Amino acid sequence: MSKKELLSKIGLRLDGRRAHELRRIRCKLGVFTEPDGSAYMEQGLTKVLAAVYGPHQVRGSKSKAHHDNCLINCQFSMAVFSTTDRKKRPRGDRKSTELSMHLQQALESVIKTELYPWSQIDVYVEVLHADGGIYPTCVNAATLALIDAGIPIKEYVCACTASLANNDVPMVDISHQEEVMGGPTLTIAALPMSGKIVLMEMSQRFHLDHLDKVMNKALQGCKDIRQILDAAVRLHVRDIGSATGWALTSYNE
Partner 1 sequence: MPIDHKRINGPEDTLPYQLFTKLNRKSLEQKYKELVQDGKRHDSRAPLEHRKIFMKTGVVSQAKGSAYIEVEKTKVMVSVFDPREIPNRQDYSLKGEIYCEFKFAPFSCEKRRLHQLDAEEKQYSQIMKKALEATVCRHEFPNFQVDIYALVLHNDGSALSAAITAAGLALSHAGVPMYDLITSATLGIQKDTILIDPTTIEERICRTPFWKEKEDNEHGLVVLSMLHTHNQVAQFYQSGSISLDKLPHLIETLEKACADTIPVIQQCLVKHVIKTIKKSSNVIEV
Partner 2 sequence: MGLSEAEKTYVLHGVEENLRVDGRDREEYRPMELETDVVSHAFGSARLRLANTDVLVAVKIEVDAPFPERPYEGKLEFFVDCSFSSMITWVLNKMKPQMASSPMNSHMASKKMLAKERTIKMISMDIGLPSSSANATPNFEGRGGEVLAAEISNCLSSAYCSSLSFDLTKLCILQGKKCWKLYVDILILECGGNLFDAISIAVKVALRNTQVPRVKCIDMDGNNVEISVCHDMFDCQRLNVENAPVMVTVCKIGDKCIVDPDVAEEQCSVGSVVVAVSGNRFSTVLQTGMGSLHPLTLVDCLKMGHKVGQKLDEAVKEVLKESLRGGDVGFIK
The residues that touch partner 1, with contacts defined as CB under 8 A, are: 59-62
Least CB distance to partner 2 at residue 38 (A) = 9
Least CB distance to partner 1 at residue 62 (A) = 8
Residues 6+ apart with CB under 8 A from 1: none
User: Among partner 1, partner 2, none, what does residue 22 contact (CB within 5–8 Å per kind)?
Assistant: none
CB atoms inside a 10 Å sphere around CB 88: 8
From the number of C-beta atoms within 10 Å of its C-beta (0-12, 13-18, 19+), residue 125 rates as buried
User: Among partner 2, partner 1, none, what does residue 17 contact (CB within 5–8 Å per kind)?
Assistant: none
* Cis amide linkage into residue 152, ω under 30° from 0: no
Q: For partner 1, which is the closer residue by CB, 4 or 62?
A: 62
* Closest residue by Cα to residue 58 from 118, 100, 124: 118
Q: Kindly give the pairing relationship between strand 71-78 and strand 37-43.
A: unpaired
Q: For partner 1, which is the closer residue by CB, 59 or 176?
A: 59
Least CB distance to partner 1 at residue 60 (A) = 7
User: Among partner 2, partner 1, none, what does residue 75 contact (CB within 5–8 Å per kind)?
Assistant: partner 2
Helix (H, G, I), strand (E, B) or coil at 130: coil
Least CB distance to partner 1 at residue 41 (A) = 34
Which residues form the interface with partner 2 (CB under 8 A)? 26-28, 31-35, 40, 42, 45, 47, 49, 51, 53, 59, 75, 77, 79-84, 86, 90-91, 122, 124, 126, 128-129
Phi-psi region of 118 (alpha: psi -120 to 50; beta: other; left: phi over 0): left
Q: For partner 2, which is the closer residue by CB, 104 or 163?
A: 104
Least CB distance to partner 1 at residue 102 (A) = 27
How far is 222 from 143, CA to CA, in rounded Å? 13
What are the distances in angstroms from CA 75 to CA 128, 142, 155?
A: 14, 11, 22
User: Among partner 2, partner 1, none, what does residue 61 contact (CB within 5–8 Å per kind)?
Assistant: partner 1
Q: For partner 1, which is the closer residue by CB, 59 or 129?
A: 59
